[in-house]
Structure 1
Amino acid sequence: MDDLQFGWVDTSIHSLLETQRAIVVSFAYALITSIDSAADLRRLPTGQMIVQRYPQCGFLGTGLVVPIDLLARIGKEFNLFNGFDEVWLFREEPRLLKPDDVILVAPLDLREDAISHELCDWVYESGCEVGLGDGIGLNYVTREDSVAAILECGKMELP
C-alpha cells in the first residue's frame, strides 16, 4: 500500500476525459465496472450494444473491457459517464475479475473514508494502474505519481 496514492478531487470521469485526456491515453485498456450505478454491464443494454458495435470490446465478468483509443468515443456515442461511474486503467488487457466488495464509486468519499485493503489488494493483483470512481466528485487510486500530481494540481473542476 506504500506506493499507492489515493484521494478525492472535485471533478468527474466525463470531465477528465475531456480536459485531461493525457492521463487516460497513456494506458492501453479501461475496465468499466459501473455506469450510472449499474454494476452488471453484461446485462445492461448499453453494454450489449457497445460489444456488438465494437468487437474490440468485451466483458470481464460483469465489467466491460474497452481499448483506450475507443473510451472517449464510446463515452460520447452512448452518453456515458454522467455520474456514479467506475473506470480502471491498465497497461495490459485486464484478466482478473473485480470483486463485488471493491468499490471506488460514491457513496465512498476518500476525503473522509478509508480505502479498503480489498481494493488495494485487487489493484496490485490485477495490474491496475489507475482507478476512478465518481458520483460526488472523483475518488481515485493510482500507482502513478504523475497521475496523482495532475489530479491534485488544482486545475481539475467540475464542468
Structure 2
Amino acid sequence: MLGPGDAIPAARVWTDAREGPVPLVRAISGDRDALLCFYPFDWSPTCTSELRLLHDRHDALDAAGIRAFGVSLDGPWSQRAFAEALGLGETVTLISDRLAEASRGFGVLSEWNGLPRAERSAFLVRGDTVVASWSLGSELPDVAAILDSASSS
C-alpha cells in the first residue's frame, strides 16, 4: 500500500460513463487536495454508508481544501446510477477503476469470493504525491484524522 511521499500510479480511470478512460492524475487534478477513498462495491451497505459520510462531511472537507473521490472497480454506468441514487451531486466524485490499474498501483487490489475488488482504504493526495494513507478494513474514513493530516502537511 502506498504511503506518504509515494507518487500515485499512472492509471487509467473513468469519471464519465459516456467517455473513455483518462489518466488518474488528470481525473483528480485541480487546486485542491484529493481524498481517494477506495471501496469494494457499489450498492453494498458499508460502501453506501462510506459515501454518505463523505457527502455529509463535504463542507468540512471543502473548507480544508479537500475534494473527495470514491474509487471502485465497478463500471462507470453502475457508478453513475449509484451516485444519482445517493444524491451525491458535486460533493463526491465517483471514479471507475474498471481496469484495476489504480487499485493495483495503490496496493489495495484484492479478491472477495473470486471477484476482484479494492480494499477499503483512503489516500490524501496533493498533486501526484500521497500525503497520508489509511487502511480501513471494515471501518469508515475518520474525517477528523483526514482533516488533521491535511492541515499538518
What TM-score do you get using the length of structure 1 for normalisation?
0.29
The structure that is strand-richer by fraction is 2
